[in-house]
Structures are given as structure tokens and as C-alpha cells.
Amino acid sequence: MTQAETNNPKQEPQKVTRNDLPLSCPRPGEALAGLHPRVYLPIEKTGSATCPYCRARYQLSE
């Protein structure tokens, strides 16, 4: 995913599973790893989360 795609709030959310928890952005191995500090996103209660730095959206799928 490019930075332009990540910064677009209309971009489809990235699907993550419970195996990906705890969820952090940027995710390990992503090219965005140097763009902002790693933050952990609370996705368990609502099923979705948005990174406060890059606006990447995540959706928890069962």
C-alpha cells in the first residue's frame, strides 16, 4: 500500500484477524514503517480502527 492510498480515508479498510492482535500501525514489514511511530490500535471492542497518524483503516474479520 502506498502512502497516498493510506492517507485516503475512502480507501477500503485493511482486513485483520484475531491472529494479528495486538494491532499496530504500521504493521510489521510494511513499507510505512519509517513514516510514523508504531501505535497500537484498540480494535477488539468496535471491530474497526483508524490510525491517528496516517489514517490507515483496519477492519477486524472473524
Are 51 and 40 in contact, with CB atoms under 8 Å apart? no
Identify the residue with better confidence: 52 or 32.
52
CB atoms within 10 A of CB 23: 19
Please give the residue range of the domain that contains residue 25.
3-60
Q: What is the CA radius of gyration of the chain?
A: 11
> To which residue does cell 510505512 refer?
32
Task: Give the angle 34-39-46 at the CA atoms, nearest 5°.
Answer: 135
Q: What is the band of 33 on the pLDDT scale with cuts at 50, 70, 90?
A: low
Mean pLDDT of the chain: 84
pLDDT over 60 (residue 15): yes
What is the number of domains present in the chain? 1
pLDDT in tens, 42-58: 999 999 999 999 999 99
Question: Grid coordinates in use for 51?
Answer: 490510525
pLDDT over 50 (residue 5): no
